């Protein structure tokens, strides 16, 4: 049930800041099912606390089954999966119950109930304004393209030497002819699911008798003038900790993010992933506590649980950072082993506690207790090795003889 519900609960939490789950439990059996639906959305549920401890839930659909009146549901009747990042709002004073004021000096057990402000923080909290700006920019861009596709044709009819009646007749004949043509074009365009792009405008002018002048006006298409759209797009992407190239804008992927941009984006994604993991971990522990309480009548203490929630998946940036840290540790260990091996093979170095302390404690920042243990172990190994070599045959070397002894030895060899 947890594997099935956690992905959808996490989506609701990321969208609204908190997701509520209704557990259905029975005595002696534990939790049998979960409900996460329209009726458990954060819009309909309020949390109340007393002195920092959860006191219960109220909501539009948390009603008494007999009277259908609002009640204060028990703390284990609902489970909240919250984004752990939130900030109190000074302009939104919490609702308290009763007629007395809220005081921090009162015993929490007798303090009035107060609605919490900790409803998590939506991942989209700062995305609304960039989203509205992006939508307005796209509407303006579409309107500019639509206007650019329309051609205005100005037709000037000369009525200089015509009397008013003949001028009106001339204008009417020309306009009716153009209207019939336009209506036919519109009918054909509707059948083809298109629209006319040429608009005719008649303008009476004073000039040569019977003259007709055509002038076409067209709005140029500025295909490069979309910097405002790209700015609002980047602003929207930044509000969710991502990049435009990671959201399907393939034309932005030619140069790539670069090492610094990739690291920054990955860190933001890792931070949001950490929030989701922490919220999921808290929710799972809460579910297990409620399950154990209903099934066994006991609950494990927080610091004495026989189980632990771990996440096998990891963010790429965090994994890369861990790999770099492990590589650095391996290099440090290799250098340390080399230093210790050189000191152990050199009795003069291994026999100097001052040198050992200077190299290991001062330079390598090792604890003094560890340095003392290493020195004692070196001395113990030296004491064990010395008696073992007493019975071994000694092979003389030329360096072990004096000059007179060498001369005597050579004389004996010559005589032999």
Confidence of residue 243 (pLDDT cuts 50, 70, 90): confident
pLDDT at 46: 92
At residue 207, does pLDDT exceed 90? no
CA distance 374 to 350: 10
Confidence of residue 391 (pLDDT cuts 50, 70, 90): very low
> What one-character-per-residue DSSP string does 188-233 give?
HHHHTT----EEEEEEEE-SSTT-EEEEEEE----TT--HHHHHHH
Q: What is the mean pLDDT of residues 37-58?
A: 91
Query: pLDDT tens digit string along 105-150?
Result: 888 888 888 899 889 889 888 889 999 998 988 888 877 777 776 7
According to DSSP, the β-strands at 212-218 and 114-115 are unpaired
Query: pLDDT tens digit string along 19-28?
Result: 999 999 999 9
The domain ranges of the chain are: 2-123+274-296, 151-218, 316-388
CA distance 3 to 5: 6
CA distance 186 to 194: 9
Q: What is the mean pLDDT of residues 55-74?
A: 92
CA distance 291 to 313: 26
Higher pLDDT, 88 or 166: 88
Confidence of residue 102 (pLDDT cuts 50, 70, 90): confident
Query: pLDDT tens digit string along 364-389?
Result: 677 777 777 776 776 666 665 555 44
Q: What are the tokens at 371?
A: 């340095």
Confidence of residue 51 (pLDDT cuts 50, 70, 90): confident
Q: What are the tokens at 216?
A: 């076409």
Q: What are the tokens at 340?
A: 């210790």
For 22-163, where are the alpha helices, taking DSSP H only?
Answer: 128-148
Give the three-state DSSP class for 352.
coil
The listed range with the strongest mean pLDDT (141-145, 340-344, 404-408) is: 141-145
Q: What is the mean pLDDT of residues 388-401?
A: 49
At residue 354, does pLDDT exceed 60? yes
CA distance 260 to 264: 6
CA distance 185 to 291: 72
Q: Is the pTM of this model over 0.75?
A: no
Q: What is the mean pLDDT of residues 288-317?
A: 84
Which helix (H) or strand (E) segment holds residue 190: the answer is: helix 164-191
Question: SS3 string of 276-327?
Answer: HHHHHHHHHHHHHHHHHHHHHCCCCCCCCCCCCCCCCCCCHHHHHHHHHHHH
pLDDT at 261: 59
pLDDT at 34: 94
pLDDT at 219: 65
At residue 250, does pLDDT exceed 60? no
Which helix (H) or strand (E) segment holds residue 30: the answer is: strand 30-35
Of 38-52, 101-115, 186-200, 325-339, the least confident: 186-200
Average pLDDT, the chain: 77
Phi-psi region of 301 (alpha: psi -120 to 50; beta: other; left: phi over 0): beta
CA distance 63 to 352: 80
Asked whether 100 and 291 are in contact (CB, 8 A), the reply is: no
Asked whether 70 and 63 are in contact (CB, 8 A), the reply is: yes
Strand partners, 18: 82
Give the rounded percent of residues in the chain with a pLDDT score beyond 70: 65
How many other C-beta atoms can be found within 10 angstroms of the C-beta atom of residue 169?
Answer: 12
Query: pLDDT tens digit string along 254-292?
Result: 455 555 555 666 677 777 888 888 899 999 999 999 999
């Amino acid at each position: 049930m947890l594997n099935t519900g956690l992905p959808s609960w996490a989506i609701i939490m990321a969208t609204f800041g908190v997701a509520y789950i209704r557990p259905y439990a029975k005595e002696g059996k534990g939790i049998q099912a979960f409900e996460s639906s329209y009726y458990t959305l954060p819009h309909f549920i309020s949390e109340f606390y007393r002195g920092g401890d959860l006191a219960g839930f109220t909501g539009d659909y948390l009603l008494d089954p007999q009277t259908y009146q609002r009640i204060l549901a028990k703390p284990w009747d609902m489970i909240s999966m919250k984004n752990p990042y939130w900030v109190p709002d000074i302009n939104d004073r919490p609702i308290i119950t009763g007629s007395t004021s809220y005081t921090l000096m009162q015993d929490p057990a007798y303090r009035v109930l107060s609605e919490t402000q900790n409803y998590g923080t939506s991942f989209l909290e700062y995305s609304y304004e960039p989203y509205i700006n992006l939508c307005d920019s796209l509407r303006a861009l579409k309107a500019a393209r639509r206007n650019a596709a329309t051609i205005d044709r100005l037709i000037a009819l000369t009525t200089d030497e015509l009397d008013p009646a003949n001028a009106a007749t001339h204008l009417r004949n020309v306009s009716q002819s153009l209207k019939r043509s336009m209506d036919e074009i519109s009918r054909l365009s509707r059948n083809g699911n298109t629209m006319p792009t040429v608009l005719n405008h008649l303008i009476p002018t004073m000039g040569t008798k019977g003259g007709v002048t055509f002038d076409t006006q067209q709005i140029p298409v500025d295909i490069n003038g979309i910097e405002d759209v790209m700015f609002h797009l980047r602003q929207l992407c930044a509000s969710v900790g991502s990049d435009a190239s990671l959201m399907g804008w393939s034309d932005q992927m030619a140069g790539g993010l670069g090492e610094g941009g990739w690291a920054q984006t990955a860190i933001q994604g890792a931070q949001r992933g950490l929030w989701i993991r922490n919220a999921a971990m808290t929710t799972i522990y809460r579910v297990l506590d409620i399950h154990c309480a209903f099934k066994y009548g006991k609950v494990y203490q927080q610091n004495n649980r026989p189980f632990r929630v771990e996440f096998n998946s990891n963010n790429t940036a965090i994994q890369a950072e861990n790999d770099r840290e492990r590589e650095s540790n391996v290099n440090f260990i290799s250098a340390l082993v080399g230093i210790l091996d050189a000191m152990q093979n050199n009795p003069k170095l291994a026999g100097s506690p001052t040198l050992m302390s200077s190299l290991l404690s001062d330079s390598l920042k090792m604890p003094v207790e560890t340095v003392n243990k290493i020195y004692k172990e070196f001395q113990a190994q030296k004491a064990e090795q010395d008696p073992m070599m007493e019975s071994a045959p000694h092979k003389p070397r030329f360096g072990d003889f004096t000059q007179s002894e060498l001369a005597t030895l050579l004389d004996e060899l010559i005589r032999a």
